[in-house]
Chain A
Amino acid sequence: MATDTDTLAATQRLVDSEYGYGFVTEVEEDRAPKGLNEGVVRYISAKKEEPQWLLDWRLRAFRAWEERYLPAGDPTWAKLRYPPINYQDAFYYAAPKSQADRPRSLDEVDPELLKTYDKLGIPLHEREVLAGVAVDAVFDSVSVATTYKAALAEKGIIFCAMSEAVREHSDLVKKYLGTVVPYSDNSFATLNSAVFSDGTFVYVPPGVRCPMELSTYFRINAENTGQFERTLVIADKGSYVSYLEGCTAPMRDENQLHAAVVELVALDDAEIKYSTVQNWYPGNKHGEGGIYNFVTKRGACRGRNSKISWTQVETGSAITWKYPSCILQGDNSVGEFYSVAVTNNYQQADTGTKMIHIGANTRSTIISKSISAGHAQNTYRGLVRIQPRAHSARNFTQCDGLLLGDRCGAHTVPYIEVKNSGARVEHEASTSRISDDQLFYCMQRGLGAEDGVNLIVNGFCKVVFQSLPMEFAVEAQKLLEVSLEGSIG
Chain B
Amino acid sequence: MLEIKGLHVSVQGSVILNGLDLTVPEGEVHAIMGPNGSGKSTLSYTMAGREGYVATDGQILYRGVNLLKMSPEDRAREGMFMAFQYPVEIPGVSVLYFLKAALNAHRKHRGEKEVDAIEFLKLARSNADTLGMDHEMLNRQVNMGFSGGEKKRCEILQMAILQPQLLVLDETDSGLDIDALKVVAKGVNNLRSENRTILLITHYQRLLSHVVPDKVHVLSGGRIVASGGKDLALTLERKGYAEFSTEAA
Direct contact between A and B in the complex (CB less than 8 angstroms)?
A: no
A residues bordering B, Cβ < 8 Å? none
